Amino acid sequence: MDFALAVTISRVVSDVALAFAAFFAGFCGAVIYVRFISRSNAAPEPRREEGCGEMSANDAARANMAAQQLRDLARNVASDVGAHNSFVESITDQLVGIEQGDAEGGAVVMDVVAKMLDANKRLQNRLEDAEQKIKNQAEEIRNQQFEARTDALTRLANRRAFDSFLVESTELYVNHHQPFALVMLDVDNFKQFNDVHGHPAGDEVLRTVGRTLSRVVGAGDLACRYGGEEFAVILANTTIQQGQLAAERIRKAVAAMNVQFGGNALRVTASVGVAGCMDGEEPAVLVRRADEAVYGAKKNGRNCSFWNDGAITHLIVPEKPAADAAKIAESPTKCFPNRALFADELGRRIAESQRFGVPLTLVHFRVRDYAQLEHTYGNAVGTLLIDSLASFVQSTLRDMDLLARLEGGELIVMLPGSSASAAKIVGQRVRTSISLCPVPLGDHQIRLELDMGVASVQTGEDAAAAMESARAQLDATAAAEAQERQQNSELAAV
């Protein structure tokens, strides 16, 4: 019996010791975490946005409250363990009494063991309950910290997280020569989304930008909402050359977004600026340089990217469009159908379309300000430029499509088997490529812009009526876009 009793007591003491050790490890980890959070909140951070000071005070108060709750929990557990120790000592006295003959009988021994097992179970339950409370408290603190550094609308990092990461990146550059770049972007004409479609539409635009940045930004980088409609991305271990490529990639991703709200498709673009870290430069100066690059993009007409070299800003010219520009300039001229030949072929295609029920759509292009271009550079240059442009557009079309060169810097394209929506995509792709292609003329370059109209051939229309419908769509679209540019210019001047 003595052997069995010793084994039982050893197991009881071992279980209690292990349980208390597990609790103690969890408690120490939680205390260390809380103290770390408190120090983080107490550390000074540069350039906080309005309200950050109050947020920091609230976070510190929550951390201190969590620490106080852990201290109270520790005192309660210590009290439980002390009571358990006192009970074990009384049990030990009883066992000593049995060994000295003060009490007799196995029943007393079994009663003592039962009491010890029951006490052990109660203490284990209290320790397990305390350990669970510690885990819950630590999880709550982690969630609070995440929310305190996350923008509620876009779910990106907020200004506080940006400031902290910017300081860390600067220290890495100073101490270990690890470069980084800062990209800032501002949603173009954001006020119009709120004014025309309401603030919920503006919120949806910001949320979509947030999701887009989360998708295109690397795991080691930080994308954040800097404030209002302005966003920032810190690109870790990135040179300014790599930063320029990243800035264009971000701009194109924003321009390609599909934002649907209230049955309307909202077209969103952004003006982007990028600056790379420089020796002896404070974080605030880097932010200012990147912001100046954003301003340069806005002055250049928006939906483009600029970079700052420390003194001035420069337009970032995408590599692919630059290659396309050379292709335009070097495209061999060829004879394209004129209006009469195009109308004849269109009449034949209309008959086939109506016979077999296949859609047929026209896309009408016009070089914006073509008359001014001819006046400045001469008719010969204008003609050569339009012929080269037509050759480039032709290279993007299918064999079944037909392109004709009309008067006054106009082109028209016939797309058999294409709906109006599909034709708009083709036309917009051509417009975007052309707008991003600076065309070399002598010792300088010009940038062409195309107006576009799209019209599907309707039942009963002949070739002349179909071409007139496309021309009417071109005029209407050009007028609407000109009005929009004027409004944007007036807003920018405010």
Angle between the N-to-C axes of helices 52-99 and 2-42, in degrees from 0 to 180, rounded to the nearest 10: 170
pLDDT (average), residues 443-452: 82
Asked if residue 231 has pLDDT above 90, the reply is yes
Average pLDDT across the chain, whole number = 79
**When comparing pLDDT for 141 and 265, which is higher?**
265
Greatest mean pLDDT among 44-58, 85-99, 133-147, 269-283 lies in 269-283
pLDDT (average), residues 35-61: 47
Whether 2-148 shares its CATH topology with 159-316 is answered no
pLDDT (average), residues 160-175: 94
Give the pLDDT band (50/70/90) at residue 55.
very low
The tens digit of pLDDT for each residue in 274-311 reads 999 999 999 999 999 999 999 999 998 899 999 999 99
**Which of 272-276, 343-347, 386-390, 442-446 shows the lowest per-residue confidence on average (mean pLDDT)?**
442-446
**305 phi and psi angles, rounded to 5 deg:** -125, 140
The stretches of 273-338 forming alpha helices (DSSP H) are: 283-299, 319-330
**When comparing pLDDT for 346 and 378, which is higher?**
346
Pairing of strands 305-308, 270-276: parallel
pLDDT at residue number 44: 41
pLDDT at residue number 491: 78
pLDDT at residue number 222: 94
Asked if residue 156 has pLDDT above 80, the reply is yes
Give the pLDDT band (50/70/90) at residue 330.
very low
Contact 393, 365 (CB under 8 A): yes
CB-count burial class (<10 Å; 0-12, 13-18, 19+) for 130:
buried
2-148, what's its fold?
Four Helix Bundle (Hemerythrin (Met), subunit A) (1.20.120)
pLDDT (average), residues 239-259: 93
Give the pLDDT band (50/70/90) at residue 4.
very low
Q: Which letter does DSSP use for residue 49 in this model?
A: P
Whole-number Cα distances in Å, 167 to 17, 173, 457, 488, 489? 45, 10, 60, 36, 37
**What is d(CA 406, CA 419) in angstroms, rounded to the nearest whole number?**
23
Give the pLDDT band (50/70/90) at residue 451.
very high
**What is d(CA 324, CA 332) in angstroms, rounded to the nearest whole number?**
14
Asked if residue 179 has pLDDT above 80, the reply is yes
**Which of 57-61, 115-119, 157-161, 204-208 shows the lowest per-residue confidence on average (mean pLDDT)?**
57-61
Give the pLDDT band (50/70/90) at residue 325.
very low
Give the pLDDT band (50/70/90) at residue 246.
very high
pLDDT at residue number 472: 95
**When comparing pLDDT for 132 and 130, which is higher?**
132
pLDDT at residue number 391: 84
Query: Which residues are CB-contacts of 476 (< 8 A; sequence separation ≥ 6)?
Result: 453
**What is d(CA 401, CA 247) in angstroms, rounded to the nearest whole number?**
36
CB-count burial class (<10 Å; 0-12, 13-18, 19+) for 488:
middle
**What is d(CA 451, CA 366) in angstroms, rounded to the nearest whole number?**
5
Residue 493: how many CB atoms within 10 A of its CB?
A: 6
Greatest mean pLDDT among 267-271, 378-382, 416-420, 447-451 lies in 267-271
How is residue 409 written in tokens? 């810097």
| Domains of the chain by residue range | 2-148, 159-316, 324-493
**What is d(CA 114, CA 94) in angstroms, rounded to the nearest whole number?**
13
| 186, β-bridge pairs | 230, 271
> Which pairs with CB-CB distance under 8 Å and at least 24 residues apart come from 350-358?
350/457, 350/461, 350/462, 350/463, 350/466, 352/416, 353/416, 353/457, 354/459, 358/416, 358/417
Give the pLDDT band (50/70/90) at residue 18.
very low
Helical (H) or strand (E) element with 279: none
Contact 413, 393 (CB under 8 A): yes
DSSP 336-370: ---HHHHHHHHHHHHHHHHHHT--EEEEEEEETTH
Please state the pTM of the whole predicted model: 0.46
Instruction: Of 184, 151, 187, give the one whose Cα is nearest residue 266.
Output: 187
**When comparing pLDDT for 64 and 360, which is higher?**
360
Contact 246, 278 (CB under 8 A): no
Contact 296, 306 (CB under 8 A): yes
Q: Which letter does DSSP use for residue 484 in this model?
A: H
pLDDT at residue number 396: 82
pLDDT at residue number 36: 46
Instruction: Of 340, 469, 345, give the one whose Cα is nearest residue 402.
Output: 345
Pick the CATH number of 159-316 from 1.20.1250.10, 3.40.50.2300, 3.30.70.270, 1.40.20.10: 3.30.70.270
Contact 278, 310 (CB under 8 A): yes
pLDDT (average), residues 222-233: 96
**What is d(CA 308, CA 295) in angstroms, rounded to the nearest whole number?**
11
**What is d(CA 450, CA 428) in angstroms, rounded to the nearest whole number?**
9
Instruction: Specify the CATH class of 324-493 in words.
Output: alpha beta
Query: Which residues are CB-contacts of 8 (< 8 A; sequence separation ≥ 6)?
Result: 113, 116, 117
Asked if residue 133 has pLDDT above 90, the reply is no
**When comparing pLDDT for 140 and 451, which is higher?**
451
Asked if residue 7 has pLDDT above 50, the reply is no
Query: Which residues are CB-contacts of 420 (< 8 A; sequence separation ≥ 6)?
Result: 361, 454, 455, 456
Greatest mean pLDDT among 57-71, 82-96, 432-446 lies in 432-446
